[in-house]
Amino acid sequence: MSRHVVKDSRIDWFQILADLNRLGVPVSSVSQQTQIPKSTILGWKQGAEPKHADGELLMDLWIGLTGNNRHQAPRT
């Protein structure tokens, strides 16, 4: 019996922020709505990974504004 290992892919936070921007939600608004510093969010655009709680806040915002569900989130 062979076993297939599926590697979990990571959320593409840059794409999440790009999706929000296309919807007219700039980083400054994301910052205000999530209470996450703008500088932190800009770091995510550069490839940093958010803390779990911050990622959940951003994911909830993305889900609420796009109408997508968590499983439809862009991944790397």
pLDDT tens, position by position, 14-71: 999 999 999 999 999 999 999 999 999 999 999 999 999 999 999 999 999 999 999 9
Separation between Cα atoms, residue 35 and residue 64, nearest integer Å: 16
Instruction: Tell me the pLDDT band of 2, cut-offs 50, 70 and 90.
Output: low
Locate the domains of the chain by residue range. 13-72
Alpha helices in the chain (DSSP H): 13-22, 27-34, 38-45, 52-66
Record the tokens describing residue 24, joined without a space. Answer: 């007219």
pLDDT, the chain, mean: 93
The string of pLDDT tens digits covering residues 30-41 is 999 999 999 999
Its pTM stands at: 0.86
CA distance 73 to 71: 6
**Single-letter residue type at 2:** S
